[in-house]
Amino acid sequence: MRRGEPLDFIAYIRDHPEQFRELLLEHVRLVGFSVLIAILIAIPLAVLTTRLAWFERPMTWIANVGQTVPSLAILGLTLPLLGIGFRPALFALTIKAVLPIFLNTVIGIRGVDRAIVDAARGMGTSDRQLLWFVELPLASPVMFAGIQTATVQNIGLATLAAYIGGGGFGDWILQGLAMVNPPILLAGAVPVAVLAMSTEMILRGVRRVIVPAGLTVT
Amino acid sequence: MFYLFEQPERVFELTLEHIRLVGISVLAATLIGVPVGILCTRIRWLESPILNLSGILYTIPSLAFFAILIPYTGLGASTATIALTLYSLLAIIRNTIAGIDDVPRATLDAARGMGMTGRQRLFLVELPLAIPVIFAGIRVATMAAIGIAVIAAVIGAGGLGRLIFDGLRTLDADQVLAGAIMATVLALVGDWALKRLGDALRRDAGAAAEGR
Amino acid sequence: MSPLWAGVSLITLEHVSKNFDSPSGSVRAVEDVSFEVDAGALHVLIGPSGSGKTTTMRMINRLETISEGTITINGRDVRDLDVVELRRAIGYVIQQGGLFPHFTVADNVAVVPRLLGWPRARRRQRAEELLALVGLPPKQFADRFPRQLSGGQQQRVGVARALAADPPIILMDEPFGAVDPITRKQLQRELRRIQAEVQKTIVFVTHDIGEAFLLGDRIVLMAEGRIVQNGTPADLLRNPASPFVTEFIGEDRSLRALQHTYLAELAGSRPDGVPDDVPILAGTLSIPQAGQELARHDRSNREGFLVSDVSGRPSGYLTYQQLATVLGESIAPAETMTSAEAAPDPEAAHVLPV
| A29-79 pLDDT tens trace | 999 999 999 999 999 999 999 998 888 889 888 888 888 787 888 887 787
A121 with C96: Cβ contact below 8 A: no
Residues B102-159: tens digit of each pLDDT: 888 888 888 888 878 888 888 888 998 899 899 999 998 998 899 899 999 988 888 8
CB C10 within 8 A of CB C30: no
Residues B4-56: tens digit of each pLDDT: 777 888 888 999 999 999 999 999 999 999 999 999 999 989 999 999 888 88
Structural domain boundaries, residue B121: 2-211
CB B24 within 8 A of CB B87: no
Predicted ipTM? 0.82
User: What is the 3-state secondary structure of B131-177?
Assistant: HHHHHHHHHHHHHHHHHHHHHHHHHCCCCCHHHHHHHHHHCCHHHHH
Q: Is residue A1 part of a domain?
A: no
Cα–Cα distance for residue pair C307/C270, rounded to 1 Å: 8
Lowest mean pLDDT among C148-152, C297-301, C328-332: C328-332
For residue C23, the distance in angstroms to the closest alpha carbon of chain A comes to 15
Residue C3 is predicted with a pLDDT of 57
Residues B52-70: tens digit of each pLDDT: 888 888 888 988 898 888 8
In sequence order, the 6+-apart residues with CB closer than 8 A to the CB of A175 are A181, A184, A188
| Torsion (CA) C177, C182, C186, C191 in degrees, nearest 10 | 20
Q: Is residue A155 part of a domain?
A: yes
Residue C2 is predicted with a pLDDT of 53
Residue of C nearest to A113 (CA): C98
Q: Which of the pair, B62 or C337, is modelled with greater confidence?
A: B62
3-state secondary structure at position A80:
helix
Residue of A nearest to C91 (CA): A123
- The share of chain C scoring above pLDDT 90, in percent, equals 37
Structural domain boundaries, residue A49: 6-210
> What's chain A's average pLDDT?
88
Q: Residue C351 — very low, low, confident or very high, per pLDDT cuts 50/70/90?
A: very low
- Whether the predicted pLDDT of C257 surpasses 80: no
Find the helix or strand (DSSP H, E) in which C36 lies: strand C25-37
Query: Which one of B52, B60, B79, B84 makes the best mutation probe of the A interface by having the most chain A beta carbons within 10 Å?
Result: B60
Query: Which one of C21, C86, C104, C111 makes the best mutation probe of the A interface by having the most chain A beta carbons within 10 Å?
Result: C111
Compare CB distances from C98 to A116, A129, A213 and report the shortest one's residue.
A116
Q: Residue A120 — very low, low, confident or very high, per pLDDT cuts 50/70/90?
A: very high
3-state secondary structure at position C269:
strand
For residue B67, the distance in angstroms to the closest alpha carbon of chain A comes to 6
Q: Please, what's the b/e burial string for C126-152 (b: 16 or more CB within 10 A of its CB; e: otherwise)?
A: bbbebbebbbbebeebbebbbeebeeb
- The closest of C169, C174, C175, C168 to C134, measured between CA atoms, is C175
Q: Which of the pair, B4 or A86, is modelled with greater confidence?
A: A86
Q: Residue C318 — very low, low, confident or very high, per pLDDT cuts 50/70/90?
A: confident
CB C74 within 8 A of CB C5: yes
For residue B63, the distance in angstroms to the closest alpha carbon of chain A comes to 7
User: What is the 3-state secondary structure of B188-206?
Assistant: HHHHHHHHHHHHHHHHHHH
Cα–Cα distance for residue pair C159/C172, rounded to 1 Å: 9
Interface residue A31 vs chain B (CB under 8 A)? no
Q: Where are the alpha helices (DSSP H) in C82-180?
A: 83-88, 105-109, 111-115, 120-133, 138-141, 151-163
List the CATH code of the domain at C3-235. Answer: 3.40.50.300
Average pLDDT rounded to a whole number, residues B175-184: 86
Burial class (CB in 10 A: 0-12, 13-18, 19+), A147: buried
Residue B23 is predicted with a pLDDT of 95
Average pLDDT rounded to a whole number, residues C21-44: 89
Residue of A nearest to B174 (CA): A80
Q: Residue C301 — very low, low, confident or very high, per pLDDT cuts 50/70/90?
A: low
Q: Is residue A99 part of a domain?
A: yes
Q: Is residue A216 part of a domain?
A: no
Structural domain total, chain B: 1
Find the helix or strand (DSSP H, E) in which A36 lies: helix A17-51
Domain ranges of chain C: 3-235, 248-342
Residues of C with CB under 8 A from a CB of A: 61, 63, 83-90, 92, 94-104, 111-112, 115, 145-148, 158, 161, 171
- Whether the predicted pLDDT of A146 surpasses 70: yes
Q: Which residues of C touch A122 (CB under 8 A)?
A: 61, 63, 87, 90, 92, 94, 98, 171
Cα–Cα distance for residue pair C149/C156, rounded to 1 Å: 10
Phi-psi region of A57 (alpha: psi -120 to 50; beta: other; left: phi over 0): alpha
Q: Residue B170 — very low, low, confident or very high, per pLDDT cuts 50/70/90?
A: confident
3-state secondary structure at position C302:
coil
Neighbors of chain A with 3 or more C-beta pairs under 8 Å = B, C
Structural domain total, chain A: 1
Residue of A nearest to B182 (CA): A73
Q: Is residue A132 part of a domain?
A: yes
Q: What is the CATH number of the domain that holds B104?
A: 1.10.3720.10
Phi, psi of B204, deg, nearest 5: -60, -45
For residue B121, the distance in angstroms to the closest alpha carbon of chain A comes to 34
- The closest of C12, C341, C350, C354 to C192, measured between CA atoms, is C350
